[in-house]
Amino acid sequence: MIVQIIPRQSQNIQAEQASLNYLFYSSYKNQSLSPSRLNNINIDFFLPKYIDGIELNYNIDSDYIQVQDSLETISLRTSESYENIEVYRAKIIKEPSVWKQNIEFTLQISYELDQVTYEDKLQGQIVKTIPDDFLGGTIYTLIRYGQMFFEGALKTIVLALIGTLVGFVLALILAIMKLQKADTHDKKIMKILKEISNKFASLYITLFRGTPMIVQASFFWYGFGLFGDPYYCGLFVVSLNTAAYIAEILRGGIQSIDKGQSEAAYAFGMNHLQTMVYVIFPQAIKNSLPAIGNEFIVNIKDTAVLSVIGIFELFNQGRKITGMHYRQLEVYLIVALIYLFLTYTISQVLKHVEIKMNLQPLEITSSN
């Protein structure tokens, strides 16, 4: 892109009349480079001596790249044959450091047109190439694509956290439904409703625990295009999947409460709803917190399967980065370390909470 055009004489010539269509060439197979592609330079490139019959002069004031004084001849393929043109080589004499990565430069171009001298300035940027060694490549990847790794990790945490919270709310309902059993004192309609609730909850839990999350995500997104956005569809799937697992955790927590507490609550005049809300649920949820916390940790890892529907969480961001420079080992090492950092940090926080609340840690396996 042309930044400015400065005529050195007072003639009032419009910029459009003096502008030239610049085209440069990469030293790799003499591929053409438009001015906009100067922002991603990592090898030498060529500057044509003439454009439209106008002789050009170049200068770059930089410690990293310089325009050579001597002319070279390169061969360009045309529609009919090859054409030889004279060029100056813009030579990279020093690469940016791994920490700096990008160095900006200004290409100054001067030429005469109708006895008027013009100066153009094009902005460019030298981009460091990835080092060949493993350690250097890992540091380079982490620094260069740090923002992408951060965005992926943040999206992973949000998906896991919101999915776990929504799943917990749904799980409360499912746990209550599954615990419904017809009583001899119930009316017929109530018996039918309890039976339907129990069967529905059992079917739901069996269905979502018995199928992988990756299949569920593909089913809802590619089958229905749910919500028209893969992110919200993925959040929906995580919530439903988590609800099935936490429902079983809560059901076990509720059933672990001594029946004598329910009987004592009834003796104090509480009805069934009051007994569940004020006596059973608080204890069941407290006893289930370690397992629910572990389910949150599981979700941090399992959200990686949502890459199948195009959500750019941490794992999919890693895949995207590998497609940029084809160095997979360094990228996936960084992704693994970020996952390890997230899960270890959260597990330590949960352990601290368990100690404060005097809870017994409960381990669960991955839901997928």
Structure token digits, residue 183: 């009583």
Rg (C-alpha) for the chain, rounded Å, is 33
Give the C-alpha separation, 300 to 296, whole Å.
6
Mind listing the pLDDT tens digit for each residue in 150-164? 999 999 999 999 999
Give the C-alpha separation, 77 to 30, whole Å.
9
Average pLDDT over residues 239-250: 94
Q: Which CATH superfamily is domain 139-357 in?
A: MetI-like (1.10.3720.10)
Query: What contacts 200, CB < 8 A, 6 or more positions away?
Result: 177
Helices (H), the chain: 15-18, 134-144, 146-178, 188-210, 213-224, 230-255, 259-267, 272-275, 281-302, 314-325, 328-357
Decide yes or no: CATH 2.60.40 for domain 15-129: yes
Mind listing the pLDDT tens digit for each residue in 12-45? 333 344 568 899 999 998 899 999 999 989 999 9
- Per-domain residue ranges for the chain? 15-129, 139-357
Confidence at 9, pLDDT banded by 50, 70, 90: very low
Angle, helices 314-325/328-357, rounded to nearest 10 degrees: 160
Per the CB < 8 A criterion, the answer to whether 5 and 120 are in contact is yes
- CA 312 centroid distance within chain: 4
- Owner of token pair 């039976």: 195
Angle, helices 213-224/230-255, rounded to nearest 10 degrees: 140
Position 360 scores a pLDDT of 60
Global pTM value: 0.77
Structure token digits, residue 274: 């009051």
Confidence at 359, pLDDT banded by 50, 70, 90: low
